[in-house]
Amino acid sequence: MTDQPEYKPPRVWSPGKGDMGKWAGTNRPVAGPTHEQELPRGKHPLQLYSLGTPNGVKVTVMLEELLAADHQGAEYDAWYIDIDKGDQFGSGFVEVNPNSKIPALLDLGGAEPVRVFESGAILLYLADKFGAFVPPEPGDRAECLSWLFWQMGSTPYLGGGFGHFFRYAPYLMEYPINRYAMESKRQLDVLDRNLAERPFVAGDEYTIADIAIWPWYGRLTMNTVYEAAEFLDAASYRNLNRWARDIGERPAVQRGRRVNRSSDNPWLLRERHDAKDFETAG
Ligand SMILES: N[C@@H](CCC(=O)N[C@@H](CS)C(=O)NCC(=O)O)C(=O)O
Protein backbone atom coordinates (compact mmCIF):
# COMPACT_ATOMS: atom_id res chain seq x y z
CA MET A 1 0.00 0.00 0.00
CA THR A 2 1.09 3.60 -0.51
CA ASP A 3 0.47 6.88 1.32
CA GLN A 4 -0.38 8.48 -2.03
CA PRO A 5 -4.11 8.82 -2.72
CA GLU A 6 -5.31 6.51 -5.50
CA TYR A 7 -5.37 8.25 -8.88
CA LYS A 8 -8.85 8.86 -10.19
CA PRO A 9 -8.50 9.44 -13.95
CA PRO A 10 -10.63 12.27 -15.36
CA ARG A 11 -12.77 11.42 -18.38
CA VAL A 12 -10.19 13.07 -20.70
CA TRP A 13 -6.55 13.45 -19.66
CA SER A 14 -4.85 16.84 -19.78
CA PRO A 15 -1.31 17.79 -18.77
CA GLY A 16 -0.16 20.04 -15.98
CA LYS A 17 -1.78 18.47 -12.92
CA GLY A 18 0.39 16.76 -10.36
CA ASP A 19 4.14 16.25 -10.22
CA MET A 20 5.33 15.22 -13.70
CA GLY A 21 8.84 14.35 -12.42
CA LYS A 22 12.19 15.07 -14.08
CA TRP A 23 11.90 16.73 -17.52
CA ALA A 24 8.45 18.07 -16.67
CA GLY A 25 9.63 21.30 -18.29
CA THR A 26 10.40 19.76 -21.69
CA ASN A 27 7.76 17.02 -21.96
CA ARG A 28 4.76 18.00 -24.09
CA PRO A 29 1.77 16.04 -25.41
CA VAL A 30 2.30 17.36 -28.95
CA ALA A 31 5.06 17.13 -31.58
CA GLY A 32 6.57 19.76 -33.85
CA PRO A 33 8.95 22.68 -33.33
CA THR A 34 8.55 25.21 -30.53
CA HIS A 35 11.00 27.77 -31.92
CA GLU A 36 13.17 28.71 -34.89
CA GLN A 37 16.70 27.35 -34.45
CA GLU A 38 18.99 26.44 -37.31
CA LEU A 39 21.37 23.54 -36.88
CA PRO A 40 25.09 24.20 -37.21
CA ARG A 41 26.97 22.59 -40.13
CA GLY A 42 30.59 21.47 -40.10
CA LYS A 43 33.10 20.47 -42.76
CA HIS A 44 32.35 16.72 -43.03
CA PRO A 45 29.55 15.01 -45.03
CA LEU A 46 28.23 13.36 -41.86
CA GLN A 47 26.62 15.74 -39.38
CA LEU A 48 25.56 14.18 -36.09
CA TYR A 49 23.21 16.01 -33.73
CA SER A 50 23.31 14.16 -30.46
CA LEU A 51 24.19 13.81 -26.80
CA GLY A 52 26.36 11.30 -24.92
CA THR A 53 23.47 9.24 -23.55
CA PRO A 54 23.37 5.47 -24.29
CA ASN A 55 21.29 6.10 -27.44
CA GLY A 56 23.72 8.78 -28.59
CA VAL A 57 26.83 6.73 -27.74
CA LYS A 58 25.70 3.94 -30.08
CA VAL A 59 26.27 6.24 -33.05
CA THR A 60 29.57 7.82 -31.95
CA VAL A 61 30.94 4.33 -31.23
CA MET A 62 29.82 3.18 -34.71
CA LEU A 63 31.48 6.16 -36.39
CA GLU A 64 34.69 5.67 -34.40
CA GLU A 65 34.68 1.95 -35.27
CA LEU A 66 34.27 2.79 -38.97
CA LEU A 67 37.18 5.23 -38.80
CA ALA A 68 39.29 2.67 -36.91
CA ALA A 69 38.53 0.23 -39.74
CA ASP A 70 39.88 2.85 -42.19
CA HIS A 71 36.57 4.02 -43.66
CA GLN A 72 37.74 7.61 -44.09
CA GLY A 73 34.33 8.64 -45.44
CA ALA A 74 33.00 8.21 -41.90
CA GLU A 75 34.63 11.44 -40.66
CA TYR A 76 31.96 13.41 -38.86
CA ASP A 77 31.02 16.54 -36.98
CA ALA A 78 29.23 15.80 -33.72
CA TRP A 79 27.11 18.68 -32.39
CA TYR A 80 25.79 18.89 -28.85
CA ILE A 81 21.99 18.92 -28.52
CA ASP A 82 20.98 20.12 -25.05
CA ILE A 83 17.72 18.25 -24.39
CA ASP A 84 17.34 19.89 -20.96
CA LYS A 85 17.18 23.27 -22.72
CA GLY A 86 14.82 22.00 -25.48
CA ASP A 87 17.22 22.07 -28.48
CA GLN A 88 15.38 18.97 -29.79
CA PHE A 89 12.32 21.17 -30.41
CA GLY A 90 14.18 23.71 -32.55
CA SER A 91 12.95 23.94 -36.17
CA GLY A 92 16.24 22.69 -37.66
CA PHE A 93 16.39 19.65 -35.41
CA VAL A 94 12.74 18.74 -36.08
CA GLU A 95 13.49 18.80 -39.82
CA VAL A 96 16.11 16.09 -39.26
CA ASN A 97 14.07 14.19 -36.67
CA PRO A 98 10.30 14.87 -36.50
CA ASN A 99 10.31 12.77 -33.32
CA SER A 100 12.48 15.37 -31.49
CA LYS A 101 14.90 12.93 -29.90
CA ILE A 102 18.65 12.47 -30.18
CA PRO A 103 20.47 11.00 -32.05
CA ALA A 104 19.81 12.42 -35.53
CA LEU A 105 22.12 12.18 -38.53
CA LEU A 106 22.34 14.25 -41.70
CA ASP A 107 24.36 12.79 -44.58
CA LEU A 108 25.37 15.56 -46.98
CA GLY A 109 27.69 13.31 -48.99
CA GLY A 110 25.29 12.44 -51.84
CA ALA A 111 23.36 14.34 -54.50
CA GLU A 112 20.54 14.99 -52.00
CA PRO A 113 20.85 15.24 -48.20
CA VAL A 114 19.73 12.12 -46.35
CA ARG A 115 18.27 12.47 -42.87
CA VAL A 116 18.22 9.47 -40.54
CA PHE A 117 16.63 9.27 -37.10
CA GLU A 118 16.22 6.44 -34.54
CA SER A 119 19.57 5.09 -33.38
CA GLY A 120 18.91 1.61 -34.81
CA ALA A 121 18.13 3.05 -38.25
CA ILE A 122 21.28 5.20 -38.08
CA LEU A 123 23.46 2.16 -37.25
CA LEU A 124 21.94 0.17 -40.11
CA TYR A 125 22.26 3.09 -42.55
CA LEU A 126 25.95 3.51 -41.73
CA ALA A 127 26.59 -0.26 -41.79
CA ASP A 128 25.02 -0.54 -45.27
CA LYS A 129 26.70 2.63 -46.54
CA PHE A 130 30.18 1.41 -45.60
CA GLY A 131 29.55 -2.35 -45.90
CA ALA A 132 30.79 -2.91 -42.37
CA PHE A 133 29.59 -4.37 -39.05
CA VAL A 134 26.56 -6.07 -40.63
CA PRO A 135 27.02 -9.49 -42.21
CA PRO A 136 26.18 -9.68 -45.95
CA GLU A 137 24.86 -13.28 -45.94
CA PRO A 138 21.03 -13.21 -45.42
CA GLY A 139 20.96 -15.71 -42.53
CA ASP A 140 23.76 -13.99 -40.59
CA ARG A 141 22.26 -10.60 -41.41
CA ALA A 142 18.88 -11.75 -40.04
CA GLU A 143 20.52 -12.83 -36.77
CA CYS A 144 22.28 -9.46 -36.47
CA LEU A 145 19.12 -7.47 -37.25
CA SER A 146 17.07 -9.59 -34.87
CA TRP A 147 19.33 -8.53 -32.00
CA LEU A 148 19.44 -4.92 -33.20
CA PHE A 149 15.64 -4.76 -33.20
CA TRP A 150 15.57 -6.65 -29.89
CA GLN A 151 17.53 -3.78 -28.36
CA MET A 152 15.27 -1.12 -29.84
CA GLY A 153 12.14 -2.90 -28.64
CA SER A 154 13.40 -4.06 -25.23
CA THR A 155 15.27 -1.07 -23.87
CA PRO A 156 12.22 1.18 -23.33
CA TYR A 157 11.26 -1.26 -20.54
CA LEU A 158 14.72 -0.86 -19.01
CA GLY A 159 14.94 2.91 -19.60
CA GLY A 160 11.46 4.42 -19.70
CA GLY A 161 10.20 1.72 -17.34
CA PHE A 162 12.75 0.60 -14.75
CA GLY A 163 15.16 3.56 -15.00
CA HIS A 164 12.40 6.13 -14.84
CA PHE A 165 10.76 4.69 -11.74
CA PHE A 166 14.07 3.79 -10.03
CA ARG A 167 15.84 7.12 -10.61
CA TYR A 168 13.59 9.88 -11.90
CA ALA A 169 10.04 9.45 -10.58
CA PRO A 170 9.08 12.04 -7.93
CA TYR A 171 8.91 9.29 -5.30
CA LEU A 172 9.75 5.58 -5.22
CA MET A 173 6.85 3.22 -5.94
CA GLU A 174 7.16 -0.50 -5.35
CA TYR A 175 4.64 -1.65 -7.97
CA PRO A 176 6.29 -0.19 -11.12
CA ILE A 177 9.81 -0.89 -9.81
CA ASN A 178 8.92 -4.54 -9.23
CA ARG A 179 7.27 -4.80 -12.63
CA TYR A 180 10.17 -3.29 -14.58
CA ALA A 181 12.98 -4.84 -12.49
CA MET A 182 11.44 -8.23 -13.32
CA GLU A 183 11.49 -7.45 -17.04
CA SER A 184 14.97 -5.87 -16.92
CA LYS A 185 16.42 -8.94 -15.22
CA ARG A 186 14.70 -11.19 -17.76
CA GLN A 187 16.40 -9.18 -20.53
CA LEU A 188 19.79 -9.48 -18.80
CA ASP A 189 19.26 -13.25 -18.66
CA VAL A 190 18.35 -13.33 -22.38
CA LEU A 191 21.69 -11.69 -23.16
CA ASP A 192 23.64 -13.81 -20.68
CA ARG A 193 22.33 -17.09 -22.12
CA ASN A 194 23.04 -15.92 -25.67
CA LEU A 195 26.58 -14.86 -24.80
CA ALA A 196 27.27 -18.23 -23.16
CA GLU A 197 27.34 -19.69 -26.65
CA ARG A 198 29.17 -17.07 -28.70
CA PRO A 199 31.73 -14.30 -28.28
CA PHE A 200 29.53 -11.54 -29.73
CA VAL A 201 25.79 -10.93 -29.63
CA ALA A 202 25.09 -12.10 -33.20
CA GLY A 203 27.80 -14.78 -33.44
CA ASP A 204 31.52 -14.82 -34.12
CA GLU A 205 31.75 -11.27 -35.45
CA TYR A 206 31.43 -7.87 -33.77
CA THR A 207 28.40 -6.15 -35.36
CA ILE A 208 25.94 -3.29 -34.99
CA ALA A 209 24.03 -5.59 -32.59
CA ASP A 210 26.93 -5.30 -30.10
CA ILE A 211 27.23 -1.57 -30.80
CA ALA A 212 23.51 -1.04 -30.04
CA ILE A 213 23.33 -3.25 -26.95
CA TRP A 214 26.58 -2.35 -25.15
CA PRO A 215 25.81 1.29 -24.21
CA TRP A 216 22.71 0.09 -22.31
CA TYR A 217 23.28 -3.43 -21.03
CA GLY A 218 27.10 -3.45 -21.02
CA ARG A 219 27.27 -0.18 -19.14
CA LEU A 220 24.56 -1.35 -16.77
CA THR A 221 26.96 -4.08 -15.60
CA MET A 222 29.56 -1.31 -15.04
CA ASN A 223 27.03 0.58 -12.90
CA THR A 224 26.98 3.62 -15.17
CA VAL A 225 23.31 3.20 -16.18
CA TYR A 226 20.95 4.28 -13.36
CA GLU A 227 23.53 3.06 -10.78
CA ALA A 228 21.41 -0.06 -10.65
CA ALA A 229 24.06 -2.80 -10.98
CA GLU A 230 23.77 -3.93 -7.37
CA PHE A 231 19.97 -3.65 -7.27
CA LEU A 232 19.63 -5.83 -10.40
CA ASP A 233 22.53 -8.08 -9.30
CA ALA A 234 24.22 -7.44 -12.65
CA ALA A 235 27.44 -9.16 -11.52
CA SER A 236 25.68 -12.53 -11.56
CA TYR A 237 25.35 -12.45 -15.38
CA ARG A 238 28.86 -13.79 -15.99
CA ASN A 239 28.82 -14.08 -19.79
CA LEU A 240 27.31 -10.63 -20.14
CA ASN A 241 30.02 -9.21 -17.87
CA ARG A 242 32.78 -10.87 -19.92
CA TRP A 243 31.34 -9.44 -23.16
CA ALA A 244 30.79 -6.00 -21.59
CA ARG A 245 34.44 -5.85 -20.45
CA ASP A 246 35.79 -6.97 -23.84
CA ILE A 247 33.70 -4.44 -25.78
CA GLY A 248 34.48 -1.66 -23.30
CA GLU A 249 38.21 -2.13 -23.94
CA ARG A 250 37.94 -1.43 -27.67
CA PRO A 251 39.67 1.91 -28.40
CA ALA A 252 36.82 3.05 -30.69
CA VAL A 253 34.30 2.39 -27.92
CA GLN A 254 36.41 4.39 -25.48
CA ARG A 255 36.55 7.30 -27.95
CA GLY A 256 32.84 7.11 -28.80
CA ARG A 257 31.92 7.34 -25.10
CA ARG A 258 33.72 10.67 -24.78
CA VAL A 259 31.72 12.52 -27.44
CA ASN A 260 28.85 14.97 -26.86
CA ARG A 261 29.35 15.03 -23.12
CA SER A 262 29.27 18.27 -21.20
CA SER A 263 31.10 18.27 -17.91
CA ASP A 264 34.03 19.81 -16.09
CA ASN A 265 36.00 16.68 -16.97
CA PRO A 266 38.38 17.88 -19.74
CA TRP A 267 38.66 14.32 -21.08
CA LEU A 268 35.09 14.56 -22.36
CA LEU A 269 34.25 16.32 -25.64
CA ARG A 270 31.18 18.52 -25.94
CA GLU A 271 31.63 18.54 -29.72
CA ARG A 272 33.83 16.47 -32.00
CA HIS A 273 35.02 17.71 -35.40
CA ASP A 274 38.33 15.96 -35.93
CA ALA A 275 40.14 12.82 -34.78
CA LYS A 276 42.74 15.13 -33.22
CA ASP A 277 40.09 16.46 -30.81
CA PHE A 278 40.65 13.31 -28.71
CA GLU A 279 44.38 13.97 -28.44
CA THR A 280 44.06 17.59 -27.39
CA ALA A 281 41.34 16.88 -24.78
CA GLY A 282 42.16 15.70 -21.29
N1 LIG B 1 14.22 5.16 -29.91
C2 LIG B 1 15.02 6.37 -29.93
C3 LIG B 1 15.10 6.91 -28.52
C4 LIG B 1 15.84 8.22 -28.47
C5 LIG B 1 15.68 8.92 -27.13
O6 LIG B 1 14.87 8.51 -26.29
N7 LIG B 1 16.45 10.00 -26.93
C8 LIG B 1 16.34 10.76 -25.72
C9 LIG B 1 17.72 10.87 -25.05
S10 LIG B 1 18.44 9.29 -24.77
C11 LIG B 1 15.88 12.18 -26.04
O12 LIG B 1 16.31 12.75 -27.01
N13 LIG B 1 15.02 12.74 -25.21
C14 LIG B 1 14.55 14.08 -25.36
C15 LIG B 1 13.05 14.18 -25.23
O16 LIG B 1 12.40 13.15 -25.01
O17 LIG B 1 12.54 15.31 -25.31
C18 LIG B 1 16.40 6.05 -30.48
O19 LIG B 1 16.93 4.98 -30.17
O20 LIG B 1 16.96 6.88 -31.23
Residue 20 — pLDDT band, cuts 50, 70, 90?
low
In contact, 191 and 147? CB cutoff 8 Å: no
Neighbours of 16 (CB within 10 A): 7
> Angle CA(81)–CA(82)–CA(85) in degrees, nearest 5?
140
In contact, 65 and 211? CB cutoff 8 Å: yes
The identity of residue 29, as a single letter, is P
Q: At what angle do helices 138-156 and 119-130 cross, to 10 degrees?
A: 160
| Average per-residue pLDDT for the chain | 95
Domains of the chain: 46-133+260-280 (3.40.30.10), 138-249 (1.20.1050.10)
Centroid of ligand 1 to alpha carbon of 101 (angstroms): 4
The residues facing 107 across adjacent strands are 46, 114
For ligand 1, atom 20: residue with the closest CA: 118
Q: Detail the DSSP E strand segments found in the chain.
A: 46-50, 76-80, 104-107, 114-117
For ligand 1, atom 2: residue with the closest CA: 118
Of the listed ranges 19-33, 152-166, 205-219, 253-267, the one predicted with least confidence: 19-33
Beta-carbon contacts of residue 82 (< 8 Å; ≥ 6 apart): 51, 262
The identity of residue 6, as a single letter, is E
Of the listed ranges 13-27, 64-78, 144-158, 228-242, the one predicted with least confidence: 13-27
Beta-carbon contacts of residue 185 (< 8 Å; ≥ 6 apart): 232, 233
Q: Closest ligand 1 atom to the C-alpha of 58? A: 19
* Ligand 1 binding site (Cβ under 6 Å of any ligand atom): 26, 53, 55, 83, 88, 100-103, 118-119
Q: What pLDDT digit, counting tens, does each position of 185-230 carry?
A: 999 999 999 999 999 999 999 999 999 999 999 999 999 999 999 9
The yes-or-no verdict on residue 23 having pLDDT over 80 is no
In contact, 13 and 19? CB cutoff 8 Å: no
